[in-house]
C-alpha cells in the first residue's frame, strides 16, 4: 500500500460542454481551479461523473492533459481510465501516465463480467502498464459485478494496486493493503471514521468547504454530515451526473448539458435539487473564466 494518500477530498469532476455539446476546455479549467480553491485536494478526471462513456479517447486524454498542465503544486490528478477491454485499459493507462497523472482509477470490467481469475489478470496487466498507483473502483450498480472484500485483499497483493474507491456501501470496511476511499457521498463520514483516506465525491462540486470541514474537524463531522443529507439525496434523484450538472447550473456555473443517452433534469427533478440547495444553506459564486 502507498505510504501517503492522494488527498482526502477528491472531486469526480464533471465534463463541461458548450452549446453544441463539444467539450468546453475553458470551462473545465475554470471549474478545476474553483474546486481546488473550495476544499478539494484534487480531481478525478473522466470518472462516472465526467461522462466517459460518450467521450472519445482523444477527448478523454485531452482532459487528463489539461488537468495535469493546470495542476498547482500539491494538487492531485487521477485519471479514470477503466474499460472492460484489458488492452484498451492498459493503453489508456500508459498514455495517462505519460501525460502526468498522479494515479489511475480503474473500474471493474462491466458487461462481460469476468470471473475471479479474469479480474486478477485484468488488474495485473493494468498495474504493469504504469509506475503510478492504481485505484480499484467497485461500483456494482453500474458494472453488474461486485469486487468482494476478500478479492480486494487479494488484488492488493499486486504491485501498485494501492487504493480502492468503494461504491458498494454494504462492503465498506478497511482492506489490508489498500487505502480506502468512499465512492458515494453518503459514506464519506463513515469512511473517515473507519480511518480511510477520504472520498471520491460529487457533492464537493457545490459543498466543497463543508466536506473539507468534515475531513478536518472530526468533532463536527456528524453534524455536517446530517446537514448535507438532503443534498446527498437530491444528487441521487436521477442518474449521475444529471443532478450535479443541474445543481452547478442553478448556482451559476457554466457546465452545459449532457450527451445522449443522458438528458437534462426535468422540472420536478430541478425542484428537488433547488430545494436541497436551499435547505442546506448552500450558495455559490459562478466560475469565472481564466
Active site residues: 137, 165
Residues 214, 215, 221, 226, CA torsion sign: positive
Cα–Cα distances in angstroms (integers) from residue 23 to residues 122, 251, 275, in the given order: 30, 20, 29
d(CA 36, CA 73): 11
Give 117: exposed, middle or buried? Use CB within 10 Å, 0-12, 13-18, 19+.
Answer: exposed
Q: Cα-Cα-Cα-Cα dihedral of 78, 83, 88, 89, to 10°? A: 40
Taking every pair of C-alpha atoms in the chain, what is the biggest distance, in angstroms? 49
Closest CA to 199 of 2, 4, 5: 5
Residues paired with 138 in a beta bridge: 166
Amino acid at each position: 500500500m502507498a505510504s501517503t494518500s492522494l488527498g482526502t477530498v477528491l472531486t469526480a469532476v464533471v465534463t463541461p460542454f458548450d452549446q453544441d455539446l463539444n467539450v468546453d476546455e475553458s470551462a473545465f479549467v475554470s471549474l478545476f481551479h474553483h474546486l481546488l480553491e473550495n476544499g478539494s485536494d484534487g480531481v478525478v478526471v473522466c470518472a462516472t461523473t465526467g461522462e466517459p462513456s460518450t467521450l472519445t479517447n482523444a477527448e478523454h486524454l485531452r482532459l487528463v492533459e489539461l488537468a495535469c498542465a493546470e495542476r498547482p503544486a500539491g494538487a492531485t490528478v487521477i485519471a479514470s481510465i477503466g474499460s472492460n477491454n484489458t488492452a484498451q485499459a492498459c493503453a489508456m493507462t500508459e498514455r495517462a501516465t505519460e501525460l502526468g497523472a498522479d494515479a489511475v482509477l480503474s473500474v471493474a470490467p462491466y458487461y462481460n463480467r469476468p470471473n475471479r481469475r479474469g479480474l486478477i489478470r485484468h488488474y495485473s496487466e493494468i498495474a504493469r502498464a504504469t509506475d503510478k498507483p492504481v485505484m480499484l473502483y467497485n461500483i456494482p450498480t453500474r458494472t453488474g459485478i461486485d469486487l468482494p472484500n476478500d478479492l480486494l485483499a487479494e488484488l492488493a497483493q499486486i504491485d501498485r494496486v494501492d487504493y480502492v474507491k468503494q461504491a458498494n456501501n454494504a462492503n465498506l470496511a478497511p482492506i489490508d493493503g489498500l487505502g480506502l476511499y468512499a465512492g458515494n457521498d453518503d459514506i464519506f463520514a463513515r469512511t473517515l471514521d473507519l480511518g480511510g483516506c477520504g472520498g471520491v465525491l460529487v457533492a464537493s462540486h457545490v459543498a466543497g468547504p463543508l466536506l473539507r470541514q468534515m475531513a478536518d474537524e472530526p468533532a463536527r463531522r456528524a453534524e455536517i454530515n446530517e446537514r448535507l443529507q438532503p443534498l446527498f439525496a437530491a444528487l441521487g434523484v436521477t442518474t449521475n451526473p444529471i443532478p450535479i450538472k443541474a445543481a452547478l447550473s442553478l448556482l451559476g456555473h457554466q457546465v452545459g448539458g449532457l450527451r445522449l443517452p443522458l438528458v437534462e433534469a426535468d422540472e420536478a427533478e430541478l425542484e428537488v435539487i433547488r430545494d436541497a440547495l436551499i435547505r442546506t444553506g448552500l450558495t455559490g459564486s459562478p466560475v469565472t473564466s481564466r
